[in-house]
A and B are shown apart, each in its own frame.
Chain A
Amino acid sequence: MRPPSFSYQRLSSVAEAVQMLSSTDNAKVLAGGHSLIPALNQRLSQPGTIIDIGRLNELNGVSVTGSSKLMIGALTPHAVVAASNNVRRYCSALATACGQVGDPQVRNWGTLGGNLAHADPASDPPTVVLAAGGKLHTMGPNGERMIDAADFFQGLFTTALQPDEILTAVEIPIVADRKSAYAKLAHPASRYAVVGVAVFLNTENGSCTNASVAVGGATAKPTRSAAAEQALVGTALEDAALDAAAAALTNEIQGDAVGDIYAPSEYRAAMAGAMLKKAVRAAMV
């Protein structure tokens, strides 16, 4: 593997990193390196300067603010997210998704923020953050911003993040009695999601009162499915309701589903439905 030459900087605070990023041409932030370094090695990415933020401890860790927000630092590795009791308690879908990212090495090095900033359409965490109604906190030369996940993911490897901004944290709202799950069909080579579905559900007396469904992997960016959500709300989440919701989801994304040499679009669309059923069942146990 032969990356092109670049200069390398390691900085000691977010403010310094932002300052450096905005004042340097063709600079890129390095977090866990598990997307950036492969791109460098294949010379798909040729930044002049690499700004290593990997050791900024201020961006690493999970906390609960009051009882309404789960805050996850951008540099928190997938493995730490997956193992966090707070994440498992308030957003178990995210723990599941991060626990299924790649292999142990990827999970120990790769970070949640790097994953979201990279916005690979086959990534797992973006789907969950979108379905959860998450918000992304950023820091740039003009200060902090907070971006709704629904606005953040814009397309293939494209986000609302400005080139001189750093993603600092992910905020997940804590909703009382909300259950969640993530179900994934992994690509046999990359282990990225061929399809991943995240569901967040509330029920009262056995009936679904609120549903949020997002699908990833199948489409160019993670996508909420209004049709699937409608099909679930008001039902007892019984088999027939799940079949209907699955069909609705498949139907809704059919036109946008991507196909490749491994899985044709038809398969991805169908599997979105299958994963939806699996996710709902997992959420309700």
Chain B
Amino acid sequence: MTTRIFGSGIKRREDPRLITGQTRYTDDFQLPGMVYMVVVRSPHAHARITSIDISAAKASPGVVAVFTGQDVPLPGVPCAWLVPGSDLKTPAHPVLAKDTVRYVGDGVAIVIATNRYLAQDAADLVQVSYDVLPAVVNPEDATKDGAPLVHDDVPNNIAFRWVASSGDEGVDNAFNEAAASGVVVQERIVQQRLLPTAMEPRSAVAQWDQFAEELTVYSTSQNPHIARFILSALTGVPEHKLRVIAPEVGGGFGSKIPVYPDEALTAWASMKLGVPVKWTETRSENYQVTIHGRDHIEYVEMAATNEGKITGIRGKVYAGMGAYLSTAAPGIPTILHGLMYSGAYTIPNIRCESIGVMTNTAPVDAYRGAGRPEATFLVERLVDRLAAKLNMDPVELRRKNLIPPFENGHNVAIGLTYDSGNYEGALNKLLSIVDYDGFRREQAAARQQGRLLGIGVTTYSEICGLGPSQVAGAVGFQGGLWESAIVRVSPAGKVQAMIGASPHGQGEETTFAQIISDELGFPVEDIEIVHGDTDRTPMGWGSYGSRTTPVSGAALVLAARKVKEKARAMAAHLLEASVDDIDYADGKFMVRGSPDKFKTIQDATLMATLAWNLPAGMDPGMEASQFYDPPNFAYPFGAHAAIVEIDPETGTVALQRYVAVDDCGPQINPMIVEGQIHGGIVQGVGQALCEGVVYDENGQLLTGTMMDYAMPRADMFPTFELDSTVTPSPHHPIGVKGIGETGTIASTPTIYNAVMDALRPLGIEQIEMPLTAPRVWKAIQDARAKGGA
């Protein structure tokens, strides 16, 4: 019998060092002779720089150098997702503004000193004179004629206009028909801006070795190989002389995908000065300049028959891009958003128009879920609206429109092929855990007493595991999306597995060791997962879009299987048997029929490494490498429900229950899966209930600290009730899908719809997110003034 470590919830091997502080993040590196950089940033959202006086800063104690935009010869930071067919403009993104600043936080100078405090003292002495210009912060307003232009070469601030459609004529017909003899529901949705708020802010340490002409950059990156690629282009240091190390990285949620001006400036400063340079942002800088997420204004509508069959969905999205196009920014509200309008439903007619808009605000890019939370929200919102309009139960309406179960490919009207799904299965499981009918009875009784109790139910499918490289090319992503892995077994049977992806908190040091242990029989303790260093790992495109396990994990499985086949051949040779007669179980190769005649994988490794007696044609060593380009994306799915109660006197929303049934295929480590879902739910609920960036009309960031920007807290949450179904991905070698973002994708609409369900007796249909107590209270006051119940 074979024991499997795959599927067991072993504890995360990375946690002891993380929770006891016995590890190093980028800011922990202290190199001999290191100096510290601080970036002088614009206090204005939009202004012309009339002069910069650095003399006082230069004379300040401990200052090594001060540079302005005129001094730094680096080219601008590139945008790397050039969505085709969208008339994309890519305005220059200089590493330091030379003549115009375009958002609060835009860099204008760098100060380098012997410690970070002296650097900050000197930075405060850099005198910049500005001519303040009018600013624009709202992405819809920014497109109107006469709005201030963020970039002169981007008319109407429109960076791109992208359309995905199942066929415009069909879409128009569906809506016309529904308007005439069915129903159409509409909503204007504001997907507010969010702050990713990784626990560790961004940081970089650069060390230029002038003798070897080699540059090493320690960086808080989710994708060190991409960072190397871009930093090489910016600094001119060739890739084989440039090493990017992502040591311990304390979360990213997308905010550590891009290469920012700051890391490039740190690298350049080290080359210029010949000493190691460290730059670490403060939390305030993190809130000002590290990318933000979401920021959509959407006009969306859904068409249906009177029986509740959905016939069409369409939307027009103004997607704020901020002042510059960040690394992946144009791909988020387009490819990762518009292509997901079908959700988990059969919808024959779909159209999405996304307009990318420049504003005088921090750049917007991928934040956990990146495009799919926005899509799921609007789909789920419209379904609930439709149910209300048709006076149908929202769960029944969903059931009517769910895509029936499929195991190997289902085409949706917008052109994607979902890999596998059983949405009704997840929904049924969810409803029985929730006791949906029981709740509805309880709710009816509560309403009699004037209590505001509500439930929200979401069924979702998402797209992750990015993705086939051919598709990446077709959609304008300026990179591949494959991964690679090397599995190397040392003579004494210890395994190093090198991966190009770059886990930063998700737990792959554990789950990937489980995969290898399962494939090869080595105990988990004997397996080391090496990642986050371009000199120690093979090329890969990084950890984002819930792709590490679906893509890097697949490369790893296949590399491990190559090792296994080599070990089998070696064992057969040692056992003087034919390879075909060798059985494998638990790390042992046995002669079929005589299980006492066996060689362990360690025996085979040692003999292959010694190479004293190899079978004909076999090379020495026990190592294999594998590139893996997935044939399709992965499509996890599930059903979530939330029960909330609102205090009518204060408007406070209390979350009473949260139930989630998710399907990510077979679970390598259920505990880690649950951890990912927990974190995801919390972040999604944060968007629904408390988070939201506020800029004033002049582009000043009013939520610039954690005292103003409300992160979700543990005491807002009940114990989550989680369950799962298992529908393997047909195209993945071990059937797994990603689970990193599902919680965020499903929970925002779940909570929102629960709140709206609670408020239904008052006739309230919409409140802008976040659903803070003052906003809910105001809606209740207004409804009562209008004569609601």
A binds B: yes
Q: Which residues of A contact B (CB under 8 A)?
A: 1-5, 41-43, 185, 187-190, 192, 261-264, 267, 270-271, 274
Alpha-carbon separation in the docked complex, A189 to B283 (Å)? 15
Known contacts A185-B773, A261-B708, A264-B774: A4-B282 contact under CB 8 Å: no
Write out the residue numbers on chain A whose beta carbons fall within 8 Å of the beta carbon of B694.
Answer: 261
If over half of B's interface residues share one DSSP class (helix, strand or loop), that class is named, otherwise mixed; here it is loop
**Is B711 in the interface zone, CB < 8 Å from A?**
yes
The 4 closest A-B pairs by CB, nearest first: A188-B710, A189-B710, A2-B120, A190-B707
Instruction: Please determine whether B650 and A189 come into contact, CB atoms closer than 8 angstroms.
Output: no
**Cα–Cα, bound, A4→B123 (Å):** 12
The verdict on B703 contacting chain A, using a C-beta distance below 8 Å, is yes
Name 5 A/B residue pairs within 8 A (Cβ), A-sorted.
A185-B652, A187-B710, A189-B706, A264-B774, A270-B777
**For chain B residues 700-731, which have a beta carbon within 8 Å of chain A?**
702-703, 705-711, 713
Least distance between A151 CB and chain B CB atoms (Å): 29
Task: Evaluate whether A3 and B708 lie within 8 angstroms (CB atoms) in the complex, with A262-B772, A270-B777 already known.
Answer: no
Q: Is B121 an interface residue (CB 8 A)?
A: yes
A42 near B284 (CB under 8 angstroms)? yes
B residues with a Cβ closer than 8 A to A are 38, 116-117, 119-121, 124, 282-284, 649-650, 652, 689-690, 694, 702-703, 705-711, 713, 772-774, 777-778
The answer to whether A267 and B117 touch (CB under 8 A), given A1-B282, A42-B284, A185-B773, is: no
Given contacts A2-B120, A2-B282, 7 further A-B contacts (CB under 8 A): A3-B117, A4-B120, A185-B773, A262-B772, A267-B778, A274-B649, A274-B650
In angstroms, Cα B649 to Cα A2, docked, is: 43
Of A2, A263, A267, A271, most B-chain CB atoms within 10 Å: A2
| Given contact pairs A271-B650, A274-B650, A189 touches B708 in the complex (Cβ within 8 A) | yes
| Chain A residue at smallest Cβ distance from B778 | A267
Query: A71–B705 Cα gap in the complex (Å)?
Result: 36
Taken together as a complex, chains A and B put the C-alpha atoms of A200 and B776 apart, in Å, by: 31
Q: B120 contacts which chain A residues (CB < 8 A)? A: 2, 4, 43
Q: Decide if the interface of chain A is mainly helix, strand, loop or mixed.
A: loop
Q: Are A185 and B282 in contact (CB under 8 A)?
A: no
Chain B residues, Cβ within 8 Å of A41: 282
**Chain A residues, CB < 8 A from B650:** 185, 271, 274
Residues of A within 8 A of B652 (CB): 185
- When distances are taken between beta carbons in the complex, the residues of chain B under 8 Å from A271 are 650
User: Would B772 and A188 count as touching, CB distance under 8 A?
Assistant: yes
A189 touches B707 (CB 8 A): yes
A189 contacts across to B, CB distance below 8 A? 690, 706-711
Partner of A188 from B124, B690, B777 at Cβ < 8 Å:
B690
Are A5 and B706 touching (Cβ within 8 A)? no
Separation of A220 and B786 alpha carbons in the complex (Å) = 33
Q: A5 and B778 in contact (CB under 8 A), knowing A189-B710, A190-B707?
A: no
Of chain B, the residue at the smallest CB distance from A277 is B649
How distant is the Cα of A188 from the Cα of B705 in the complex, in angstroms?
A: 13
Contact assessment for B702 and A2 in the assembled complex, using a CB-CB cutoff below 8 Å: no
**What A residues does B773 contact at CB under 8 A?**
185, 188, 263
Chain B residues near A185 (CB, 8 Å)? Answer: 650, 652, 773
> Is B117 touching A2 in the complex (CB atoms < 8 A)?
yes
Q: How far is A3 from B124 in the complex, measured between Cα atoms in Å? A: 12
Tell me the bound Cα distance from A110 to B516 in angstroms: 50
Check A267/B710 contact, CB under 8 A, given A2-B282, A5-B121: no
Instruction: Name the contact of B774 in the complex, choosing from A2, A5, A262 (C-beta under 8 A).
Output: A262
Known: A2-B282, A185-B650, A267-B778. A261 touches B702 (CB 8 A): yes
B774 and A4: CB pair below 8 A?
no
- Measured CB to CB, the closest approach of chain A to B690, in angstroms, equals 5
Residue in chain A with minimal CB distance to B690: A188
Judge whether B710 and A263 touch: CB under 8 Å. no
Shortest CB distance B481–A (Å):
37
A185: nearest chain-B partner, CB-CB: B650
Chain B residues with Cβ below 8 Å from A3 are 117
Closest chain-A Cβ to B624's Cβ sits at a distance in Å of 47
Whole-angstrom distance between the Cβ of A229 and the nearest chain B Cβ: 22
Given A189-B707, A274-B650, are A263 and B774 neighbors across the interface (CB < 8 Å)?
Answer: yes
CB neighbours (8 Å) of B777 from chain A are 267, 270
- Give CA–CA (A263, B689) in the complex, Å: 14
Residues in B with CB closer than 8 Å to A188 are 689-690, 710, 713, 772-773
The answer on a CB contact under 8 Å between B124 and A5 is no
Q: Which residue of A lies closest to B649 (CB)?
A: A274
The interface residues of chain B lying within 8 Å CB-to-CB of A43 are 120, 124
- Taken together as a complex, chains A and B put the C-alpha atoms of A5 and B710 apart, in Å, by 31
Closest to B708 in A: A189
CB neighbours (8 Å) of B283 from chain A are: 1
Among residues of B, the one whose C-beta sits closest to the C-beta of A267 is B774
Q: Bound state CA distance, A187 and B121, in angstroms?
A: 33
Chain B residue at smallest Cβ distance from A246: B649
Distance between Cα atoms of A190 and B706 in the complex (Å): 7
Within the assembled complex, what's the spacing in Å between the Cα atoms of A119 and B264? 44
